[in-house]
Amino acid sequence: MDLTPLIEVTRAARRFDPRHYLPFHVAARQVGWVAPRLAERLEPMAEVFLVGDFGVALHPDLVEPQARTEALDRAVETLAAEGWIVGVRHERYAIRERFDAAPLFAIERAAARPFGLTTFAAHVNGLTRRADGAVEMWIARRSPTKPIDPGMLDNLVGGGIAAGHTVTQTVVRECFEEAGILEPLARKAQPAGLVRLLREVPEGVQSEVIFVHDLWLPPDLSPRNTDGEVSEFHRVEFRSLPRRIVDGDPFTLDSALVILDCLIRHGVIGPDDQGYEALVAGLREAPR
């Protein structure tokens, strides 16, 4: 198998030019990226942001996470009213250098991309073994009304990790909401590593860490969406996925990476395939 078109998928997840953005600092740590146009708008909000040659910084007087969160809340409200931030959901992400570090602040999730903040998500590959031994993967089609990637193909389950939630809690909640999978089965979702994205998107920069999981479903179980975010599920042969990602109905970039990682871990794509090392490197190397 020639893996070149799949390597191209991993490149799309790293399409980012730091020269297009200003670094965004909080407490002397770079936590994100801001487009120059937005930085200009932030400059007069001098009680919240410092804008200078160094980039954009949260005002150093905001030392406590709570104070930062409140100041950013007010700024986000203004920016949303002016159209700089769209799709406010009144759900917060905790922002931190690493997932296991203390949160620096929390922020409305719709603000993550405009500020290029790293967010964390949990995705689940739904796998089933057929009677003949072949493995199939459950694929979701996103609802045509979703604000991001409507109608595109997706993993069985995937969702952002809200402030104060663990990875496991997120998997359990999303398994129920998105696929009607109850907690005892959802807890069998096996963590299997992570994939990362850093890319320019219309709203700003998507910087994301996705904790990937595999969940083996009994052959007679069919996922059933409960929150209206998925329009249908279907099951496809594991071995058909490399071709489908390249030629079939479009997958979200996030789910394409999660599936590629799964295909590599399960040997559907292997070291005797042309481009294997480059594919693994493209999927796993640091985005920055």
Task: Give the binding site for a copy of itself (CB under 8 A).
Answer: 98-100, 122, 166-168, 190-194, 209, 211, 213, 264-267, 269-272, 274-278, 280-281, 284-286
Residues in a beta bridge with 264: none
At closest approach, how far in Å is the CB of 273 from a copy of itself?
8
Phi, psi of 84 (to 5 degrees): -75, -30
Closest separation in Å from C-beta 105 to a copy of itself: 19
Query: DSSP assignment, residue 249?
Result: S
Closest approach, Cβ 43 to a copy of itself, in A, equals 33
Residue whose C-alpha is closest to residue 207's, from 11, 8, 6, 16:
16
249/258 Cα distance (integer angstroms): 16
Q: Which CB atom, from 72 or from 172, has the smaller least distance to a copy of itself? A: 172
Helices and strands (DSSP H and E) totals, the chain? 8, 13
> 108 or 207: whose CB is closer to a copy of itself?
207
Closer residue to a copy of itself in complex, CB, 130/224: 130
**In the complex, least distance from residue 285 CB atom to a copy of itself, rounded to whole angstroms:** 5
Q: How far is the CB of 204 from a copy of itself (least distance, A)?
A: 22
Comparing C-alpha atoms, which of 129, 128, 258 is closest to residue 193? 258
Q: Give the C-alpha separation, 136 to 279, whole Å.
A: 22
Q: Smaller CB distance to a copy of itself: residue 99 or 176? A: 99
How far is Cα 194 from Cα 209, in angstroms, rounded to an integer?
Answer: 7
Nearest CB to a copy of itself, comparing residues 80 and 278? 278
Nearer to a copy of itself, 82 or 272 (CB): 272
| DSSP codes joined into one string, 139-175 | EEEE-TT-SSSTT-EE-SEEEE--TT--HHHHHHHHH
Closest separation in Å from C-beta 46 to a copy of itself: 34
Identify which of residues 22 and 279 has a Cβ nearer to a copy of itself in the complex: 279
Residue whose pair of structure tokens reads 């209206």 in the numeric block: 228
Q: Which amino acid is at 44?
A: P
Q: Which residues pair with 251 in a beta bridge?
A: 153
| Rounded least distance, CB 264 to a copy of itself, Å | 5
Sign of the C-alpha dihedral, residues 136, 264, 7, 4? negative
Alpha-carbon distance of 58 to 52, in angstroms, equals 12
Least CB distance to a copy of itself at residue 266 (A): 7
Q: Measured between alpha carbons, how far is 95 from 84 in angstroms, rounded to an integer?
A: 20
Report the residue number, 27 or 192, with the smaller CB distance to a copy of itself.
192
Contact by Cβ (8 Å): 234, 139: yes
